[in-house]
Structure 1
Amino acid sequence: MKPSPGLVGATAAGTLVSLGLAVLGAGGLATFFSHPARIALVVAVVVMSGVTAFSSGNLSPGVREDRANRWVLPVFGLLGLLSAYLPAYTERLGVWVLGEEGVRWLGVVLFAAGGVLRIWPVFVLGYRFSGLVAIQPGHTLVTSGVYRVIRNPSYLGLLVNSLGWALVFRSGVGVLLTALIIPPLIARIRSEEALLHEQFGTEYEAYCARTWRLIPWLY
């Protein structure tokens, strides 16, 4: 299946906006790129965005969608904009700055690891992966590979990725914003699980019984 133009466009736009806001928050290009870890962050962002463009993920409502869950999208959007700008801005002001330079590189590692965990399931699911809570045509339940242990690896990747971004700027505010992602994320997970249970019944119940929702051995 060909890449979704909508997903490619949204990814490209999100990348440009996020990096632009971060540069603005840091006080300009020279200041932003004065730290090698930030350069590494930009490289990671560009690589991940490019890889995503080759996936078969989409923004399709499919054959059935839980439209009631769409409220999380503007919430994620707002938190994403704040997370793009405030960590760099608060670091520039010296507000709630965490640790030393090593924290930045820990952030780069977490950002990259979270990005891989975020993108990998998109390729595993292919056309079944949608930015909406939806059942796609010919939808089947995937329970192997990365889905053998946790049911929502992409969402775990999102949290790790967001935390990594915050730490690149040594930002306590960024860590707080990452925590604020959790409530709407849990709401989305529950909406997806309800839809999958309705679609796959006992097969999905059995799958849930032997896996973790988000974090192995914790949740």
Structure 2
Amino acid sequence: MIHYQTTILYGLLILWGLTEWFIKNRTKTNGSDNSQDKGTRYVIIISIVLSIAMLNNPFKITILLPEWGIYLGIILMLCGIILRVYAINYLGKAFTLNVQTTDEQELVRSGPYALVRNPAYSGTIISILGLAFVTLNVFSILLVLIVLSIGYAIRIHTEEQALQEHFGNAYHIYCQKVKYRLFPYIW
């Protein structure tokens, strides 16, 4: 590993952790008895923990990128954090860590939600991929991408069911208008 690579990796991981801690504390009071989460919050936590564990290259398979991957990783991490915080702030009180709906909830269709249906999730994936790029290991990047894709596919499926039940045809129309769940032209 390049001598400053580990320092950058841990620094970004701390920054990401502090951001998530801030988000968790900010949304503490957004609880509801109407949780439809089905354990997907834990699926996401496990997929993120597994992804971070993959940064340590547990399979010892190494396919290295050039050093510019570190700088790309830093940019991805910062952009991912900014996107996640922006998307969460845009939702305001409607944002919760669990999948749930309330009677007062409105379907948000503007801002980042006019581009993709789950921009906060996109931000997390971009952030963790940024960490993976800092390792310069293509194998770690692919593992992180696979693990996060599986975790978020499960979460999004559950969330879409809850939103479809709550908003009915309005959600269906929104999904037709905003076709992509996470990344435009990709997914």
For normalisation by structure 1, the TM-score amounts to 0.70
Q: Deviations over 1:159-198 (max 9, x none)?
A: 2111111011113224312221112211211211111111
- Match for residue 34 of structure 2 among 64, 77, 101: 64
Higher relative contact order (CA 8 A, sep 6+): 2
- Give 1 or 2: higher helix fraction: 1
What's the offset of the Cα at 1:52?
A: 6.3
Q: Does 1:186 align with 2:153?
A: yes
Task: Go from structure 1 to structure 2 and tell me whether the alpha carbon gap of 1:134 and 1:218 turns closer, same or farther (over 3 Å shift).
Answer: same
Q: Does 1:83 align with 2:48?
A: no
> In the alignment, what sits opposite 2:186?
218
- Match for residue 164 of structure 2 among 186, 197, 212: 197
RMSD: 3.0
Unmatched segments (≥5 aa) in structure 1: 1-25
For normalisation by structure 2, the TM-score amounts to 0.81
Unmatched segments (≥5 aa) in structure 2: none
What's the offset of the Cα at 1:62?
A: 1.5
Q: Which segment is superposed worse, 168-177 or 125-134?
A: 168-177
Q: Does 1:164 align with 2:134?
A: no
Question: Matched residue of 1:74: which SS?
Answer: helix
Q: Does 1:108 align with 2:74?
A: yes
> In the alignment, what sits opposite 2:22?
53
Q: How many residues of Structure 1 are paired with residues of Structure 2 in the alignment?
A: 184
Q: Does 1:143 align with 2:109?
A: yes
Q: Deviations over 1:36-90 (max 9, x none)?
A: 684386168437735862784347552422142x1x3333333333333442x33
